[in-house]
Amino acid sequence: MTDLPAAVDLAAEELSGTIDGDTLTVTIDRPEKRNALTADGYHGIKRAAMIVADEPQLNFLVITGTGDVFCAGGDMNSVGNPDRRWDAFTEAYDATPFETLGKIPKLVVCAVNGLALGGGLVMTLYADLVIASDRTRMRVPDLTRGVYEAFIAARIPQRIGTLRANHLIYGNDWIEAAEAERLGLVGKVVDHGSLAAETAALLDRVRGTGPTARAAMKREMARALPPVDVSGYWASMGTAEQIEAFTAFLQKRPPSWPVTTDREAFVSTRRPAWVPADRSCEGTESS
């Protein structure tokens, strides 16, 4: 059997990959950006998933972060990075690793060591096991960025229920570790200092189950999950709403949401049904 290297090049500066026995661990280490992932970083996680899927000696992919931050999602400033190693142009529709995590026949474990939002939270939704530090905080900020987060929409209602998902998505609420466990966003909360040891203990328990049976179980459970509207997700990128949201975020100001008038001709035919006639006329004159 081929000896696998202890260190794995994932083609992303913010990622380190290490192999120990049957486990490939990916650590996100970009503290100056709260472990936000570049396009290379997202691709590197997908690369790690495919390595684990391919190699018969590997059974687990563990994803974790450094310090008190798991992952703050994608880095909005990294799109034009001239040092990018991955061609995100030709593979834009397949840029994120989320679905790959759910599809590989091996188990994916998120060891959430702290802040998890945006893409960081999404990775936990596509992982098979989620163990979290008591310093974990979660949030879905995507709508504040004008982004239709189809990956969230396809998974979080199934995990925690539609109404709770609505409050998290539309209310932009923060979820602390204990609440995340209560809702079912994470499987177990442990002391921050023991996260690595608790993750190792969890994997030891899983090793008592058959790898082939595990793969079949994962495949069958995935059949009940709804498909992801990936094309809709990408269609929300580059809209006037999304550009304004990103610009406002970078300028540290509230967004000024653009109002679409694409249906004005149709709506104007319906307006007389509820707007008083005098007001309806005023509105027509003023326009």
131-184 per-position pLDDT tens digit? 999 999 999 999 999 999 999 999 999 999 999 999 999 999 999 999 999 999
The tokens describing 110, both together, are: 């998120």
Task: Judge whether 266 lies within some domain.
Answer: no
Residue 124: CATH number of its domain = 3.90.226.10
* Cβ pair 73, 33 in contact under 8 A: no
The pLDDT value recorded for residue 278 is: 79
Per-residue pLDDT band for 285 (boundaries 50, 70, 90) equals very low
What are the pLDDT digits (tens) for 36-80?
999 899 999 999 999 999 999 999 999 999 999 999 998 866 555
Contact of 245 with 146, CB cutoff 8 Å = yes
pLDDT digits (tens, 9 = 90+) for 194-249: 999 999 999 999 999 999 999 999 999 999 999 999 999 988 888 999 999 989 98
Residue 71: closest CA among 26, 102, 103: 26
Assigned token pair, 65? 């972060």
pLDDT of residue 261: 84
Domain membership flag for residue 275: no
pTM: 0.90
Per the domain annotation, does 113 fall within a domain? yes
Mean pLDDT, the chain, whole residue set: 91
Cβ neighbours, 10 Å, residue 29? 15
Cα dihedral 118/120/126/128 (nearest 10): -150
Residue 252 belongs to some domain of the structure: no
> What pLDDT score was predicted for residue 83?
63
SS (HEC) of the chain: CCCCCCEECCCCCCEEEEEECCEEEEEECCHHHCCCECHHHHHHHHHHHHHHHHCCCCCEEEEEECCCEEECCECCCCCCCCCCCCCCCCCHHHCCCHHHHHHCCCEEEEEECCEEECHHHHHHHHCCEEEEECCCEEECCHHHHCCCCHHHHHHHHHHHCHHHHHHHHHCCCCEEHHHHHHHCCCCEEECHHHHHHHHHHHHHHHCCCCHHHHHHHHHHHHHCCCCCCHHHHHHCCCCHHHHHHHHHHHCCCCCCCCCCCCCHHHHHHHHHHCCCHHHHHHHHHHC
In a domain, 245, yes or no: no
Q: Are strands 107-112 and 115-117 parallel, antiparallel or unpaired?
A: unpaired
**Domain limits for position 198:** 7-234
Phi and psi at residue 273, in whole multiples of 5°? -70, -20
- Residue 222 in any domain: the answer is yes
What is the structure's pLDDT at 279?
Answer: 67
Number of domains in the chain: 1
Q: What is the 3 state secondary structure string of 256-280?
A: CCCCCCCCHHHHHHHHHHCCCHHHH
Q: For residue 253, is it within any domain?
A: no
Contact 90, 46 (CB under 8 A): no
255 falls within a domain: no
Q: Is the alpha carbon torsion for 40, 44, 45, 50 positive or negative?
A: positive
Alpha carbon distance 248, 17 (integer Å): 35
Alpha-carbon dihedral sign for residues 275, 276, 281, 283: negative
